[in-house]
Amino acid sequence: MKTNINPEFIECTASASASTANLGPGYDVFGLGLDALEDIVTVKVDKRPKPSKKNLEINIKGNRNENIPKNPDHNTAGIVARKIISDYDLYSYNFLLEIEKNIPVGYGMGSSAASAVATAISFNCLFGLEMDETRLLDYSAEGELASAGVKHYDNIAGSLFGNFVIVKTYPRLEFIKIKSPNNLIAVVCVPLINVPKMKTEVSRGVIPKNVPLEKAVHNIANACSIVAGFYSRDIQMICNGINDCIIEPARKKMIPGYDKIKNRSMEEGAMAFTISGAGPSSIAFLNSTKKGLHLAEVMREEYKKLDIDCETYLTKPSNGSKIISTK
């Protein structure tokens, strides 16, 4: 690992997309990048007159900047930055992180993952750290400590690499990237309800610790169908596998009207429907933009009946994170 290194630029700006995780039975394993929204992070650096460990500031702007901590020890991007600064001994520099938040925070679209990923690839570029993809994935996952209390890689992988990603963590961290079908369409519905702090950690807490063997077999079979569907670019096969009998039943209780929204969506043409990540957003999959626009309207109608405002996003798989500019 490099230490005592100099920056190649004075600032670097990167973007990372929204994402969805699990896709039903792929809990903590499947991630899918979504091109609907992205967070943008600019890392600015200058030489300090005197080295100090208090060398990191955060400025937050954008459409989703409310209630986001600016303290680096509690901010997704800040935690990633702190880890990289420590590991590469970058204490002789001042850093300013400017974070443009566009992804809804705490609603299951990978907001924390996107900011973390954009920060990691910005530092990698800024100092020429030459991190490989596995190291970038691992550093980015540090940021999930802010929202989930643990490192997990599904949203991180979808945001970092785009398209569909399978993540393994035992016996070592590995990932498999698979290109998505060109005509795979998703509709994400975000109910504008109050969500708890550390929402992902709370959502993980409702998951049963023990499950019957037949349910585990059911989910494994469906997860295999999803993987086979992505490999063969078969949307119907993918959607046939998006069926979860373990996580969804536990988490849907936290989402008002979930069963009604799901049933109506399936009646109106959704090929599959599940919770997006830890929720409370839901996500439907189709093979037609026209059907997707109709389905978004249906979702809004159903939430209106519940007196709940919502936002809907028609999206396709993203192509992953990228460096936007350097100076």
Q: Which of the residues are catalytic? A: 144, 200
Q: Residue type for 98, please?
A: E
203 is written with which tokens?
């959502």
Q: How far apart are CA 196 and CA 279, in angstroms?
A: 11
110 is written with which tokens?
């990978």
Q: How far apart are CA 104 and CA 24, in angstroms?
A: 21
CA 198 to chain centroid: 15
Question: By C-alpha distance, which of 14, 45, 42 is closest to 98?
Answer: 42
Q: Can you list the alpha helix ranges (DSSP code H) found in 162-207?
A: 199-205
53 is written with which tokens?
């460990």
E strand map for the chain: 11-21, 30-47, 56-62, 93-101, 164-168, 174-178, 185-191, 272-275, 282-286, 310-315, 322-326
Question: By C-alpha distance, which of 256, 235, 319 is closest to 17?
Answer: 319
DSSP 68-92: ---STTTSHHHHHHHHHHHHTT-TT
Q: How far apart are CA 9 and CA 86, in angstroms?
A: 19
